[in-house]
Amino acid sequence: MSKKKITIPELKAKRENGGSFAMVTVYDYPMASLVEKSSIELILVGDSVGMVIQGLNSTVPVTMTDMLYHTRLVRRGTPNTFIVGDMPFMSYQACEKEAIHNAGALMQAGADCVKMEGTRFTAPKVEAVVKCGIPVVGHIGLTPQTAAAMGGFKLQGKDLDSAKNLMADAVAYQEAGVFAIVLECLPTALGQAIHKRLNIPTIGVGAGHGCTGYNLNAYDILGIFDQFVPKFVKRYRDVGKDITGVFDAWRADIENGQYPLPEHNFNVFEKEINELFKS
C-alpha cells in the first residue's frame, strides 16, 4: 500500500486534536526515497544544504538555483511525502514581487509549500505570498540566514525583552497567514507559551516539548554530519563510522585480492576474446 500524502487541513487537525507529526530535512533523491518508505509525514528541503552538503560555513551563500535543484531531486524520491521548500537568503526580503516569484518557482519545482524565516518585519512579504495562494510555513527564533546578527547559532529568547519580541513575531506570522511555524532554539517555556498563544501547528527545532511537530536533520540523526551537533539532536545511529568502515573494508579487499571475485566479473565471449588476442 502506497503512502498517502498528508494535507494542510490534516496538519491543522493534528494541532486541534492534540496529535503530532515529524518533519525531516533531506536534500537528495536517495535519502528522500528512504523517507518515502517511512512514517514521517513531512520533508524540509532546507537551505542548510549549504552547510551539510556544500561544506559552507553558513546558509547565506545558498541560492534559489540551489534550492530549486534540490527540491526537484527530493520530489522525484517522494511522490507521497509533503515537501516544505526553504526560501534562501535574499529570495524574499527585498520586495513582495520577488518573494512571490521565488515562492512560485519553488512550488513549480515540486514543493507543497514554502518556508520563510524572519520576524514581524518580514510578515508583509509572507502575507503577500499567502495571498497569492502559496502556503507558507513561518520560521522564528534562531534563523540561520541572520545568525551573524544574532552572534552565531545560539539559543534565542533568553531574556524577557527578547522573549516578548519573539512572541510578537509569532503572532505577526500567524496574522500574515502562515499555516504552521518553526520555533528554533528557544527555551522550552517560551516555546510552550508561543504554542499556547497560537492556533496553528508549531514545529519545534530545539524548542523543547510541547510543540505539534518536530524537525531534525537526517544527516544529524544518522550520524553522517558531525561538523557540529546541536544540543537538541538525538542521534539514533552512527552511520558515518559504518560508511568509513565499508570504504576501508573495500580497500583492504582490493589489497588482499578479494575484490573483484569471479562473481563480480562479466565472463562473456571469454574463449573467443582469448583466441583473438593471444600472443
Q: Which CATH number fits domain 8-237: 1.20.58.220, 3.20.20.60, 3.20.20.70, 3.30.2270.10?
A: 3.20.20.60
Residue 184 known to be catalytic: yes
User: Which is catalytic among the residues 117, 184, 255, 275?
Assistant: 184
Q: Which residues in 46-59 are b (16+ Cβ under 10 Å) and which e?
A: bbbbbbbeeeeebb
Write out the three cell numbers for 234. Answer: 538525538
Which position has the grid cell 514581524?
120
CB 116 within 8 A of CB 136: yes
Domain with CATH 3.20.20.60 in the chain: 8-237
Write down the pTM of the prediction. Answer: 0.93
The answer to whether the CB of 219 falls within 8 A of the CB of 52 is yes
Q: How far apart are CA 31 and CA 260, in angstroms?
A: 28
| Confidence class for position 10, pLDDT limits 50, 70, 90 | very high
Which range (6-15, 259-268, 270-279) has the least confidence? 270-279
Task: Flag whether pLDDT at 59 surpasses 70.
Answer: yes
pLDDT grade for 229, boundaries at 50, 70 and 90: confident
What's the DSSP call for residue 21? E
Which of the residue ranges 35-39, 144-148, 190-194, 255-259 would you say has the lowest mean pLDDT?
A: 144-148
Q: What is the C-alpha separation between 41 and 5, in angstroms, rounded? A: 7
Q: What is the pLDDT of residues 121-175, one digit of tens each?
A: 999 999 999 999 999 999 999 987 876 667 777 888 999 999 999 999 999 999 9
Question: Which residue, among 10, 88, 82, 8, has the nearest Cα to 43 in the 3D structure?
Answer: 82
Question: Dmax over Cα atoms in the chain, in whole Å?
Answer: 86
> What gap in Å lies between CA 255 and CA 147, rounded to an integer?
47
pLDDT band at 225 (very low <50, low <70, confident <90, very high): confident
Burial of 96 (0-12, 13-18, 19+ CB in 10 A): middle
CA distances from 129 to 63, 103, 105, 120 (A): 19, 7, 12, 15
